[in-house]
Amino acid sequence: MLELQWANPNDVEAILDLMEEYHRQEGLRGHARSRLKGVLEMLFEQRNRGRVAVARDAGELLGYALVVRRPSFEWASDLAVLDEIFVRGKARDRGLGRRMINFVEEYAASEGLPAITLQVASQNVAAMGFYRAVGFSKVDREIFARPVTGPR
């Protein structure tokens, strides 16, 4: 039976496998597994920083949603930030992504967080279709970033 749960430290290796599959598929920068593992383990040690929801079917992980918290002065509150969501190819289009979003929303509601925000690559039109279908809408913002190399 398919269940949604918060991941526990025993899930780290299976989550890393899914994460690597996702990053490879999306052509994202491949970080060393040990570094990703460090970030995941930090989340298990500091529960108030974020959590990983997993979809488990007969012991196998079929997907994960990584949600972190950040303070926002715009909202005068912490927000839930959906950092990553991934469903294994064979398990897609069966409502799992929607269930994981609902799971994250229940968490946000129970913690009194007023909104869930996320970023999506401009070319990831499929993910945008999914987000719209599960209740997100685009806000009028552009995301900027720069690598930190020292003061300029």
Q: Which residues bind ligand COA (CB under 6 A)?
A: 22, 85-87, 92-98, 120, 124, 126-127, 129-130, 133-134
Q: What is the closest distance, in whole angstroms, from the C-beta atom of residue 126 to ligand COA in the complex? A: 3
Considering the complex, state which of residue 12 and residue 127 has its C-beta at the smaller distance from ligand COA: 127
Rounded-to-integer distance, Cα 96 and Cα 88, Å:
10
Residue partners of 107: CB distance under 8 A and separation at least 6: 51, 53, 67, 80
Query: In this structure, what is the dihedral angle of CA atoms 78, 83, 88, 89, given to the nearest 10 degrees?
Result: 120
33-45 and 12-25 helices cross at what angle (nearest 10)? 130
Q: What is the closest distance, in whole angstroms, from the C-beta atom of residue 26 to ligand COA in the complex? A: 6
Q: What is the closest distance, in whole angstroms, from the C-beta atom of residue 144 to ligand COA in the complex? A: 18
Considering the complex, state which of residue 36 and residue 134 has its C-beta at the smaller distance from ligand COA: 134
Considering the complex, state which of residue 5 and residue 9 has its C-beta at the smaller distance from ligand COA: 5
Considering the complex, state which of residue 58 and residue 148 has its C-beta at the smaller distance from ligand COA: 58
